[in-house]
Amino acid sequence: MDNLTEAQQLQQQQQQSLQIDCLNENTNSNSDNKNSKTQREQERGGGGEKDMGHIGGNSIHRSSSRPQLDLSGAAIQGNFEERDPTILLPNQSDDISHLALDIGGSLIKLVYFSRHEDRPVNDRIKRTIKERLGISNGSRRSYPILGGRLHFVKFETTNINECLDFISSKQLHCGGMDARLWHSGVSNENAVIKATGGGAFKYADLFKERLGVSIEKEDEMNCLVAGANFLLKAIRHEAFTHMEGHKAFVQIDHNDLFPYLLVNIGSGVSMIKVDGDGKFQRVSGTNVGGGTYWGLGRLLTKCKSFDELLELSQRGDNRTIDMLVGDIYGGTDYSKIGLSASTIASSFGKAISENKELEDYRPEDISLSLLRMISYNIGQISYLNALRFGLKRIFFGGFFIRGHAYTMDTISFAVQFWSKGAAQAMFLRHEGFLGALGAFMSYEKHGLDDLMVHQLVERFPMGAPYIGGNVHGPPLGDLNEKISWMEKFILMGTEITAPVPMSPPGTTGLGGFEVPSSKGDILRSDASKLNVGVLHLVPTLEVFPLLADPKTYEPNTIDLSDPGELEYWFTVLSGHLPDLVDKAVASEGGTDDAKRRGDAFARAFSAHLARLMEEPAAYGKLGLANLLELREECLREFHFFDAYRSIKQRENEASLAVLPDLLMEIDSMDEETRLLTLIEGVLAANIFDWGSRACVDLYHEGTIIEIYKMSRKKMQRPWRVDDFDAFNERVLGSGEKKPCQYKRALLFVDNSGADIVLGMLPLARELLRRGTEVVLVANSLPALNDVTAMELPEIVAEAAKHCDILRRAAEAGGLLVDAMINIQDGTKDSSSSLPLMVVENGCGSPCIDLRQVSSELADAAKDADLVILEGMGRSLHTNFNAKFTCDALKLAMVKNQRLAEKLINGNIYDCVCRFEPAC
């Protein structure tokens, strides 16, 4: 590091020239016309500006949810004179989407699937890496399921025309048929839609008339069971308990799911004993259900909507209308049989003894009395049926529940009370969509029932309030509509952005018979009800094979169900927002369009944060990793595909310029000093993190190289967590102990710039030199300033210009283009060098959930005996407690004071070097 002054000069020159480049970019972007810009965005598909010969970038799909048609080779079939001739699409190989419906007495539930097109990958690089990893084409997995997304929408049955318009506007009815029969005029003689519920019979003709499609009817009970079984097996945080205002997710063991009682509370109620897939019996039901509450409630209160009725109940006091035990017993308990004075003896019972008319009762009180009457009754009958068949678990579905805390508490109380705690009530996040999902599963060809939990990723795009709730206005077709929608919400006021508290903990109070003590006087409207997201089906995702115990693995170190933690991280992420928006807008040339998208992004992300503050479990179990990923997803939703692009480029160049000096310095050291210097270098360079407030403030105080130098200087051992000696002994041996010759190391890399170039690459080089194959594992999609798998080959190629070890390894790993041509020609023998490879990890977040990684990474892991996780996101926020079946090294600088205090009892900028030998 002696030549730093020279290097600094070089860096300054580079920064100057970069500034000029940026100016040019701005000018160009400004002069772009809007259409060509949009087209460019689509072509770019979320990646960097130029294709750097990436090997991946495909496990996460970025296309919009619109069905993609392959129109190449399209030809008119038959008579050209016809008004709507059939168009043949010979290259449209698969169905483009599916749609299934559950048309109930009250609501129409719609589940539809949209395929995302598979973008072509750089096959050549991918093939070489696969050869290197020993994956022959013969042993390639076959994925029976198509990648795509499942969307959930509901409409009121009385508004069936809105539903038909929705289907028609999205062309959903065209997907379920053979695409060869697709008509230009969208008339679908042979198209069939699967549907269940009574409306499948009642409205079949209307569907034929309006959409030209036939309804194929599926048995309702069959569908409910298929939907529930699918959800309980495939979705990680589907089921939860809800007691006294407290929601807790339940981890269902797939091998111990059956038997259970399924209670579907729709207009009426069905109780089904489920013994297995397709094995069930409808054992009971009751006609006192959701329709009763809504119907009677409407008559008695004159409410205009179900939500209004439910909202009223939150301000009600049922004691004015219900006859309580105390009313009969002169204010005392009937303790002999265990009834307290506040127990409801007779719902609506007071109405008989008083000389009052309907108008004399508050609608609020009527609504609450009715809600409690019906919920207790259902809870009680459910328990009796569970008892009849010896069932311990009862799952409640149907839209009567509507995610309403008080309803769930009441049902739970009834089950708990009557079973004396022996049976448990559980609820489902996709409560009302069981039947529709089941109908969807009945399409034979998509093989959805084979899906495993790790192949599903649930996302909550801002389309979700509209997708998960009632449809207000026309469908949000494109980005522009989505942005206007965000803008409208702000104009309309607080509906989505402001947290509206639902019933707080302790809703049912003592014994579940008290008045709900809800603070919030408005029920969150369906339009902002985001707890059903879009399910992304990604068949290529796998569980990381080196996890010691995937069943108990929990990626998050920080659990945000702790209100203190949630508030802290909420404040941190809100604080980052203005700066992030600036970066994002600048990355898109600072155009007016980018500014508008930036605003919409900020609103959308703030709305998510507000929603989660209000109800942390709304999107399933919430950890810090989910919040950080949500931010990245939200950026992508508003078409910011790489907000830190220019920062990354600038830092890569500056770091590459000083790499030769660093390598020279390292090479002059003896083995032991070298290893320590390299680990120190990784920790020091991890300071380049644009996701940390403290670090970003630091960057105002010096150039990258100055900060890097300062950071290295401050490296004082022992680090706060310091297992270096153990690692050193493992690698170099000591006394009796022989050095360990690792066969293959997986290096989970973090940031661009100094972090990768001056930290991780030199470490990789040392491992190669010591006879270890190295696989650099990087993000599939950009997140903050993290380096991506797509960007790495070019960085490695640049570094390889200065280093023979890296060059030969990169050639052997197929990372250098000329070398690949040689390998393919068979003219070059690269077997003399161990390969340096790059694989994508399957994610686009600063953290990593090792239950869902790319199939390439899973393949690469099979022969690996060392895992190195680098950075705060990958080794502290997530995986700090993860155990592996091979040796693991976790390296990070802690760039947040609170985390340092909590996790390692230390301070900001302390370092973690945790070595965990194979377990």
Ligand X SMILES: CC(C)(COP(=O)(O)O)[C@@H](O)C(=O)NCCC(=O)O
CB nearer to ligand ADP: give 296 or 710: 296
Element of type H or E holding 838? strand 836-840
CB closer to ligand ADP out of 363 and 398: 398
Letters for 509-548 (x = contact with ligand ADP by CB under 6 A, - = none) are: ----------------------------------------
Tokens 């402001």 belong to 498
Could you give the string, one character per residue 394-413, with x where binding to ligand ADP holds by CB under 6 A and - elsewhere?
----xxx-x-----------
Distance between CA 862 and CA 733 in Å, rounded? 25
Q: How far apart are CA 272 and CA 275, in angstroms?
A: 10
- Beta pairing partners, 286: 269
CB of 492 to ligand X, least distance (A): 32
CA dist 667 and 663 (Å) reads: 6
d(CA 116, CA 147): 7
Q: Is 782 in the site for ligand X (CB under 6 A)?
A: no
Taking the CA atoms of residue 483, residue 487, residue 492 and residue 498 in that order, the dihedral angle to the nearest 10 degrees is 90
Residue 751 as a binder of Mn ion (CB under 5 A): the answer is: yes
User: Six-digit token pair at 645?
Assistant: 């692009």
Q: Which is nearer to ligand X, 342 or 556 (CB)?
A: 556
Show the DSSP H helices in 335-395 as ranges: 350-353, 363-389
If contact means CB under 5 to 8 A according to the sort of partner, which of Mn ion, ligand ADP, ligand X, none does residue 477 touch? Answer: none
- Interaction residues for ligand ADP, span 140-199 (CB under 6 A): 156, 197
Interface stretch with ligand X, choices 72-80, 233-241, 486-494, 691-699 (CB under 6 A): 691-699
- Which of the residues 859 through 878 are near Mn ion (CB under 5 A)? 871
Q: Select the residue interacting with Mn ion from 311, 633, 642, 786 (CB under 5 A).
A: 786
Nearer to ligand X, 100 or 721 (CB): 721
Pick the piece of the chain touching ligand ADP (CB under 6 A) from 99-107, 210-218, 688-696, 896-904. 99-107
871 binds ligand X (CB under 6 A): yes
Mark residue 508 as left, alpha or beta (left: phi above 0; alpha: psi -120 to 50; beta: remaining). alpha
The reply on whether position 291 binds ligand ADP by CB under 6 A is yes
Sign of the CA dihedral 26, 30, 33, 37?
A: positive
- Neighbouring C-alpha atoms within 13 Å toward the C-beta of 574: 14
Neighbours of 527 (CB within 10 A): 19
Indicate the residue among 593 and 689 with the shorter CB distance to Mn ion.
689
- Pick 164 or 682: Cβ nearer ligand X: 682
Q: Which strand (E) or helix (H) includes residue 148?
A: strand 148-156
Does 465 help bind ligand ADP (rule: CB under 6 A)?
no
Number of residues that bind ligand X (CB under 6 A): 20
Q: Which of 182, 294, 427, 569 binds ligand ADP (CB under 6 A)?
A: 294
Q: 55 with 126: CB under 8 angstroms? A: yes
651 DSSP assignment = H
Among 516, 555, 753, 873, binds ligand X (CB under 6 A): 873
Report the residue from 432, 759, 835, 846 that binds ligand ADP according to the rule CB under 6 A.
432
Q: Which among 67-75, 174-182, 282-290, 866-874 is the span making contact with ligand X, rule CB under 6 A? A: 866-874
- Contact present, 694 and 916 (Cβ < 8 Å): no
**Are 380 and 413 contacting, i.e. CB atoms less than 8 angstroms apart?**
no
Q: Which of 60, 99, 107, 789 binds ligand ADP (CB under 6 A)?
A: 107
Contact 119, 442 (CB under 8 A): no
As measured in angstroms, the least distance from the Cβ of 890 to ligand X is 12
Q: Of 36, 23, 18, 43, whose CA–CA distance to 593 is shortest?
A: 36
Handedness of CA 234, 237, 238, 239 (dihedral sign): positive
> What's the CA gap between 180 and 107, in Å, rounded?
33
From Mn ion, ligand ADP, ligand X, none, interface partner of 516 (C-beta below 5 to 8 A by class): none
* From ligand X, Mn ion, ligand ADP, none, interface partner of 432 (C-beta below 5 to 8 A by class): ligand ADP
Distance CA 319, CA 365 (A): 8
Nearest CB to ligand ADP, comparing residues 402 and 524: 402
Tokens of 811: 């050639």
Chain residues binding Mn ion by CB under 5 A are 750-751, 786, 846, 871
Chain residues binding ligand X by CB under 6 A are 572, 628, 686, 689, 691-694, 750-751, 784, 846, 871-874, 877, 892, 895-896
Chain residues binding ligand ADP by CB under 6 A are 104-107, 156, 197, 266-267, 290-291, 293-294, 306, 398-400, 402, 432, 470
